[in-house]
Amino acid sequence: MKKIRSANTEPERILRKAISFSGYRYRLNSKKLPGKPDLVFNKYKLVVFVDGEFWHGFQWKKKKPRIKSNRDYWIMKIEGNIQRDKINNKKLKKLGYNVLRFWEHQIKNNLELTVSKIIAHLEKEHFI
């Protein structure tokens, strides 16, 4: 558990490198915003989160019954994370930010599509 990172994970680093290569600048893990988004594009009012499948409940209804060890703790923890993500999304939208969330596997399996979604959103905001 000690080696599990909450920031600067491999998928985050891969995504950051691809976005930087595209010429866009961003802030990392802004403590001023709810949820400390992984990438913040202040100029475009866009935040991006890279969510880990286990911690943020990817396919939670399917995976929840499979948890065997320390079941009560993990269910409470993951469901709390899911709820907190929803609350943070609402807070960020109230502040005028658009929120994009990607699962780690989306970045690992199809980086180009993930980057193109972010860039399309940035360019859309730029021309408004």
Segments making up each domain of the chain, as ranges? 10-122
Joined tokens for residue 34:
């709810």
pLDDT, average across residues 65-73: 85
Predicted local confidence at residue 5, as pLDDT: 55
pLDDT tens-digit profile of 44-58? 999 999 988 888 888
The answer regarding whether domain 10-122 maps to CATH 3.40.605.10 reads no
27-28 and 39-41 strand pairing: antiparallel
**Nearest one of 51, 26, 54 to 39, comparing CA atoms:** 26
User: How much is the pTM?
Assistant: 0.86
- The answer on pLDDT for 10 being more than 50 is yes
Q: Which phi-psi region, left, alpha or beta, contains residue 105 (left: φ > 0; alpha: ψ -120 to 50)? A: alpha
46-51 and 39-41 strand pairing: antiparallel
pLDDT tens-digit profile of 74-86? 988 988 999 999 9
For residues 19 and 41, the answer to whether their CB atoms sit within 8 Å is no
